[in-house]
Amino acid sequence: MTQDWLELTRLTGNSPLVIEQVRLTDKDIAISGKFELPPLARLTAEDQVFVMAFVRSHGSIKEMESIFGVSYPTIKNRLTRIAGNFVFSENVSVRPSVNGEKEEVLAKLDRGEISAGEAIERLEK
């Protein structure tokens, strides 16, 4: 099962696909819907292997040259091409999702509409 993802990637041959069911293997739970694959999973099988080798080599281009038997510029060009598949957003604020009033209080704090003290007071209520 560990290499099933690679076979699935080869079978689909770069065609777009949507996952329609997810099953939790340790529970009797299945979730149906339309789930888009994450960006790394949308890479070709060969590019996925390349990225895994890059991560395992701790980003060492010298080691990548040795693994794949190609030159530094070839490794750099492939990394550049692969990176072109990903969209990065700057200034992304990541915080845990908070429901209802708590989210509104945090949003007001973010916008500078209330002080930190006032936010704490409201969240404690």
Identify whether residues 77 and 96 lie together within a single domain. Answer: no
| Structural domains in the chain (count) | 2
Query: What is the average per-residue pLDDT within 2-26?
Result: 75
Give residue 1's pLDDT: 46
Identify whether residues 13 and 71 lie together within a single domain. Answer: yes
Give residue 118's pLDDT: 86
Identify whether residues 61 and 99 lie together within a single domain. Answer: no
Q: Which conformational region is residue 2 in: left (phi greater than 0), alpha (psi within -120 to 50 degrees), or beta?
A: alpha
Residue 107's domain spans which residues?
A: 92-125
Q: Is 18 in contact with 35 (CB distance < 8 Å)?
A: yes
Query: What is the average per-residue pLDDT within 11-24?
Result: 79
| CA dist., res. 123 & res. 121, Å (int) | 6
Identify whether residues 120 and 65 lie together within a single domain. Answer: no
pLDDT band at residue 67 under the 50/70/90 scheme:
very high
- Cβ contacts of residue 35 below 8 Å, gap of 6+? 18, 19, 20, 22
Query: What is the average per-residue pLDDT within 60-81?
Result: 95
| CATH number of the domain enclosing 25 | 1.10.10
Report whether pLDDT(96) > 60. Answer: no
Identify whether residues 39 and 66 lie together within a single domain. Answer: yes
Name the pTM for this structure: 0.56
